[in-house]
Amino acid sequence: MESGRSLLVRGASRAGDERPASILIVDGRIRALGAEAEAAAPAGATEVEAEGLIAAPGFIDLQVNGAAGHDLTADPNSLAGVAAALPQYGVTAFLPTIVSAPYEVHAAAMAAVREWSDPTGGTSATPLGLHVEGPFLSPARPGVHDPSVLREPDPAATAGWSPDGGVRMVTLAPELPRALALTADLVARGIVVSAGHTDADYETGRAAIDAGVRYATHLFNAMTPLGHREPGIAAALLADARVTIGIIPDGVHLHPAIVDHVWRMAGPGRVSAVTDAIAALGMAPGRYQLGRIEVLVDDRAATSGGRLAGSVIGLDAALRNVAAFTGATAAAALETVTRVPARLLGLPDRGHLGAGAIGDVTLLTPALEVCATIVAGRVAYALGDTA
Residues recognised as catalytic: 276
How many C-beta neighbours within 10 Å does residue 284 have? 7
Alpha helices in the chain (DSSP H): 35-40, 79-85, 103-114, 179-188, 202-211, 232-239, 256-266, 315-326, 330-335, 339-345
Angle between helices 179-188 and 202-211 (to 10 degrees): 30
Q: How far apart are CA 194 and CA 171, in angstroms?
A: 5
CB atoms within 10 A of CB 163: 18
CA distance 337 to 345: 12
- DSSP structural state of residue 125: P
The rounded distance, in Å, linking the Cα atoms of 136 and 138 is 7
Spatial CA neighbour of 190 closest among 153, 161, 154: 161
Q: What is the DSSP letter of 305?
A: T
98 close to 132: Cβ distance less than 8 angstroms: yes
Residue type, 112: A
Half-sphere exposure of 67 (CA within 13 A, CB side): 29
Cα separations (Å) of 35 from 22, 51, 199?
Answer: 7, 15, 54
